[in-house]
Structure 1
Amino acid sequence: METYTVMREFADSWALAAMTVFFIGVILFAFRPGSRKASEEAAQIPLKDD
């Protein structure tokens, strides 16, 4: 098999599955319980006076 064909088959199957799992993990992490307070605190960091 050619290198391109092997890489294309990998990208169409396992790489797509891995990216999908990663995306779902990021979404779950962002919307987990208790993350609103941490997000609001992080958003205020640039506005704080030192």
Structure 2
Amino acid sequence: MTETYTSLAGFAQTWGLLYFVLMFAVVIGYAAWPKNKQQFDDAAQIPFRED
């Protein structure tokens, strides 16, 4: 049973790390995409708006 746990833990650590690195790259890519600049600029100005 210990061998099963060790191999499962190693699998989860390796593929979990790769998954989170991939998701991080996707989010950074989305935020840096030039098409989204206006949307983020508008969102950045929300605290300064007076309604």
* TM-score, normalised by the number of residues in structure 2: 0.75
> Percent identity over the alignment?
32
One-letter amino acid of the counterpart of residue 44, structure 1: Q
- Higher RCO, Cα 8 Å, sep 6+: 2
Give the aligned length. Answer: 47
**Aligned residue runs from structure 1 range 1-50, under 5 A:** 1-2=1-2, 3=5, 5=6, 6-7=8-9, 9=10, 10-11=12-13, 13-50=14-51
- The alpha carbon displacement at 1:33 in A equals 2.3
Gaps of 5+ in 2: none
Give the AA of the match of 2:38. K
Which of the pair is proportionally richer in helix?
2
Q: TM-score, normalised by structure 1?
A: 0.77
- Which residue identity is paired with 2:50? D
- CA RMSD between the two structures: 1.3
Runs of 4+ with >6 A deviation: none
